[in-house]
Structure 1
Amino acid sequence: MTTLVFVHGWSVTHTSTYGDLPARLQQRAAAEGLPLRIADLWLSEYVSFDDAVTMADLVRGFDRALRELHLHDAQFACITHSTGGPLVREWLRAQRERPAIHSTIRLSHLVMLAPANFGSALAQLGKSSVSRLQAWFQGIEPGRRILDWLELGSTESLSLNLDHIHGDDPADAGQFLFVLTGDRPDRAMYDHINSYTGEDGSDGVVRIAAANLNARHAVLSKGRAENPDTLSLNVRRAPRSAFKLIAGAAHSGERHGIMAAATTPTIDAILRCLRVFDRNSYAELCDAFAVENAARDRDRVEFEPAGPFPPRLHIHDPCSLLLVRLTDETDEPLTDARFLLQAGTPSNPDWMPQGFMLDRQAHSHARHVIALFLNHAVLAGSERIGDPRNSRKTLRAALDAHRPYGALIQPVDLEGLVHHAIAQTHPADDLLDLLGPHETTVLDVVMPRKVHEGVFRLIRSLAPRDFRHPEPGPTIP
């Protein structure tokens, strides 16, 4: 390794955001025999706080900056934070798709710290009038175009991630991607006006599942001929990526921030990533991280001090992010359709387990795109959670799964010449199979479009005929 580039996140205005991470990483690397000198470290300064700047603009700027390094081996490794992860991934895609325009410099290792790969629930709030006013007082803009990319379910973020899910495995080409993310918010940075900053299942800014690249793309569409209003499920899984939870780390902050705090666990994990040199060593690290994540999930109890009052209990259950896009077979958005999860046999929305839904957020511009934040442990069932201070005390009783899980889709236009019908998943399909703990699933629901033959008829009568109120007739097969 000869060059290491650091790329910060959204709305950063000072390189102090990197904290001691570059220096501490160089010191540890030198002590352990990794050839990394201070002269090989480069810190990014990019502008995301200008409303005119887009992700594509930043990709162009990043490409130009890399060219000016004049790397003697035309290769580098990269450590990113937050929005820096998607930015570098967008550059990698542009490099693949438009090689004549972008440089041929090769990225060997991409280590993403708390990346907003699927966006952040906070992006909508960052575009609010209050946030814009606060940014104005600070002499900057909120960076609206970048926040558009970061909104959960945005067209741009889904395009990048679906390309990844359906694309080739980067590791087969000797390009290694890693995600390291904190497992809880920094309680001292909790914003009492915005509960997302203290949301369990996140690091206070980015949900764990939204950082993870081990994602799925599922499609619910018309399948079995015996019932055209029953939707069948098809699922595609992304290439396996290295993913590790850093226990106790948060998104930002000098004390617990995964980058600024530069704790020993974070430094250790980064160095393990940088030591990967081939497909086999990458697979071994993926396996090791999975074992360590499972151990963290078993030790999921946190007691938050509350001054003179009893401590607040947090059970850090594995969660799943489900991004639902509701369209019909002509790709028309169904903005007013209801998407309901249901459980049991026969399926019933009232039988979903208590506490399964943590949050629901519709896209601000595309109302047919909905982000559902789900407690995977509640859906899958969970063992009894005991008090680590007293093993005989139960903090939460064992939870039973209510499988199988299905979906019911209720359009608003149930009649007319052109309309949609109520549809549901096939009883043989269990939606829990497409949800992974700490993972994101993009679910495309493609509804059948009912077109009746009354939209177009041929008649023989030459006499004048008023057809302002046509009979719909049967549906066109």
Structure 2
Amino acid sequence: MATLVFVHGWSVTNTSAYGQLPQQVQQQAASAGLSLTLADVWLSEYVSFDDAVTMADLVRAFDHALRDLHLLDASFDCITHSTGGPVIREWLRAQRDRPATHSTIRLSHLIMLAPANFGSALAQLGKGLLGRLKSWFGGVEPGQRILDWLELGSAASLSLNLDYIHSDDPLNRGQFQFVLIGDRPDRSLYDHLNSYTGEDGSDGVVRIAAANLNAHHAVLSPRTNSTGGIDRLALNLTAGPRCAFKMIAGAAHSGDLVGIMAAAAPATVAAILRCLQVRSASDYSALCDAFDHENASRDADKVELEPAGPFAPRVHIHDPRSLLIVRLTDEAGEPLTGAGFLLTAGKPASADLLPEGFLLDRQANSKQHTTISLFLDYSLLAGDDRVADPRNSRKTLRPAVISHRPYGASVQPIDLLGLVHHALAESSPDDDLFGMLAPHQTTVLDVVLPRKLCEGVFRLTRNLTPEDFSKPVPGPLID
């Protein structure tokens, strides 16, 4: 077996964060038919809590540290946690794009535990007052530049993920990538000042959909014709390469008791060893299928009853969620500042027909204000069967929900008039936008509006007498 490198997450300051996981993997490797000694295991110590450190700095420093290992077979396997996943994925992209400056050492297996691949809703809060106070008491900085990358909808994270969606399948390079994530928060770590730490559909830090590398890129762009003064937008959809993805029941992002890494629970270790045993494309496909089957079984048993002391338990219905990251621009690449974006349902399309409770959270990126992340309840959008109370099957926790398809979208720009402006736009009635979503997955949606340019922007005249054009008449639209 190749050398195994462990890479921790954001703001870690001690290798105790790895818990017993390296030892457990090493001890149980032999029973799984893998040869792994302690000499083959390396633990990363990288600095993410210095405000000056960027993701590119980490990539460059990791590449330098990797060269120092002097690997005999010039290959290694890697197990990451949280931000460690994006760090290694950024290194893989740099290794591909800049081979003259980066190591040629080959990564065979990349096993990501709770990776913040599409970011975390907590990153925006981590840069705020509470995050800074926590860092100050801990004697470290919050790691501003890394948090910028981790914020939902950041330009840097979208660049990496769109590159992954549109690039060659890693399998074609003999590389196997895996995502393992806990299916619920650690309720004992709930922060009453920050509801994201107890958010269903996440592990308490990273949303399940934001970890999953099975993702889509959707584009709503202008059709050739418009009707009734409204621009029609047609949907184009691209799916990324298939990635092995598994939810670990009962595991959370962190913590010694149920944290997916530090707790080193048997289920986590067993899943890691299954990943390390993959040796071919057929092995990988079979494991993807097995994980999908296990995830479906987990989704079928989706009611959690959280003990609440002397009171009735709190009920959590673990519906699959979808993360929709929307970017609003026009065809010149200009952001549509101030534009309204609405999802719609039914025929005729209306925002009033959307199912109640489908939108769980909305967060705009702090640097790219026209990039908005919507956290959606996939089951409510798809329609769902009655949810029975596990304590009494005759009791209903939630009645059956019917689908409100087809789903669409409309855009309301604020500049409907002027020399340069935009018009109202909506998705084509022929496109059901539900098809761009998937359970536990992320979709990046680019909404691109036509840029209306009037003749008055540039005119030629034969009148040689001085003429004031400080208040130009717009005139007809330029085709």
Which residue identity does 1:466 align to in structure 2? Answer: D
CA drift of 1:137 comes to 2.4
* Aligned twin of 1:186: 186
Q: Distance in 1 between matches of 2:49 and 2:362?
A: 27
- 1:466 & 1:352 partners in 2: Cα distance? 52
Q: Which amino acid aligns with 1:232?
A: A
Q: 2: CA distance between counterparts of 1:130 and 1:195?
A: 13
Task: Give the aligned partner of residue 68 of structure 2.
Answer: 68
CA–CA distance in 1 between the matches of 2:326 and 2:443?
Answer: 8
2:225 alignment partner, SS class: coil
Residue 272 of structure 2 is aligned to residue 270 of structure 1:
yes
Query: What is residue 149 of structure 2 aligned with on the other side?
Result: 149
Check the 8 A contact 1:323/1:441 in 2, yes or no: yes
Structure 2 residue matching 1:29: 3-state secondary structure = helix
Instruction: Give distance in 1, aligned partners of 2:390 and 2:177.
Output: 35
Alignment partner, residue 132 of structure 1: 132
CA distance in 2, matches of 1:433, 1:382: 16
Q: Match of 1:174, as an amino acid?
A: G
The 5 Å alignment of 1:31-430 reads 31-227=31-227, 229-430=231-432
In 1, the alpha carbon distance for the partners of 2:470 and 2:74 equals 69
**Counterpart amino acid of residue 71 in structure 2:** L
Q: Which residue of 2 aligns with 1:12?
A: 12
Q: Distance in 2 between matches of 1:131 and 1:213?
A: 28
1:28-79 deviation digits (Å, cap 9, x = unpaired): 1123331011111110000000000001100111111111111100011000
Q: Aligned equivalents of 1:199 and 1:134: distance in 2?
A: 21
Higher mean displacement: 4-13 or 451-460: 451-460
1-side partners of 2:143 and 2:160: how far apart?
Answer: 20
Q: Deviations over 1:168-226 (max 9, x none)?
A: 00012210000000110000000000000000000000000000000000111111425
Who is 1:463 aligned against? 465
Q: Runs of 5+ in structure 1 lacking a partner?
A: none
C-alpha displacement at 1:142, in angstroms? 0.1
Question: Residues of 2 paired with 1:2 and 1:95: CA distance?
Answer: 19
Unaligned 5+ segments in structure 2 are none
Measure the CA separation in 1 of the matches of 2:11 and 2:248. Answer: 24
Query: Following superposition, which runs of at least 4 residues in structure 1 exceed 3 angstroms of deviation?
Result: none
CA distance in 2, matches of 1:134, 1:35: 42
> How far apart, in 2, do the equivalents of 1:461 and 1:454 lie?
16
Instruction: State the TM-score, normalizing by the size of structure 1.
Output: 0.99
* Distance in 1 of aligned mates of 2:262 and 2:138: 22
For residues 77-103 of structure 1, the C-alpha deviation after alignment (integer angstroms, 9 at most, x for no partner) is: 000000000000000000000011011
What SS does the aligned partner of 1:256 have? coil
Give 1:460 deviation, angstroms.
2.1
How far 1:134 moved relative to its partner?
2.5
Amino acid at match of 2:113: L
Whole-angstrom distance in 2 between the partners of 1:312 and 1:207: 21
Q: Which residue of 2 aligns with 1:431?
A: 433
Question: Shift of residue 456 of structure 1?
Answer: 1.1
Give 2:160's aligned amino acid: L
Whole-angstrom CA distance in 1 between matches of 2:122 and 2:419 = 41
Residue type of the partner of 2:448?
V
Q: State the shift of 1:469 in Å.
A: 1.8
Contact 1:224 1:232 in 2 (8 A): no
* Aligned-partner SS, 2:29: helix
Q: Deviation per CA, 1:126-162, whole angstroms, max 9, x where unpaired?
A: 1012311321222110000000000001111001000
Tell me how far apart the structure 1 counterparts of residues 188 and 196 of structure 2 sit (CA, whole Å): 14
Q: Percent same amino acid among aligned pairs?
A: 69
Which letter does structure 1 place at the counterpart of 2:127? K
Alignment deviations for residues 384-409 of structure 1 (CA, whole Å, 9 cap, x no partner) = 11112222211111100100000010
Distance 1:402 1:330 in 2: 34
Deviations 1:288-307 (A, max 9, x none): 10011001000000011111
Q: Quick check: 2:95–2:103 contact (8 Å CA) kept in 1? A: yes
Q: 2 CA distance for matches of 1:5 and 1:183?
A: 25
Q: Does the Cα contact within 8 Å between 2:116 and 2:150 map onto a contact in 1?
A: yes
Superposed CA RMSD in Å reads: 0.9
Give the aligned partner of residue 475 of structure 1: 477
Aligned residue pairs, count? 477
Q: Is the 8 A contact 1:9 1:80 kept in 2?
A: yes
Partner amino acid for 1:320?
Answer: S
The code of the aligned residue for 2:327 comes to R
Cα distance in 2 between the residues matched to 1:387 and 1:29: 41
TM value normalised by structure 2: 0.98
SS in 2 for 1:149: helix
**Which deviates the most, 112-121 or 123-132?**
123-132
Q: Take 1:126 and 1:13, find their aligned partners in 2: how far apart are those partners?
A: 16
CA drift of 1:464 comes to 2.5
Preserved CA contact (<8 Å) 2:363 2:374: yes
Query: 1:54 and 1:470 mapped to 2: Cα distance?
Result: 47
Q: Say if 1:218 and 1:441, in contact at 8 Å, map to a contact too.
A: yes
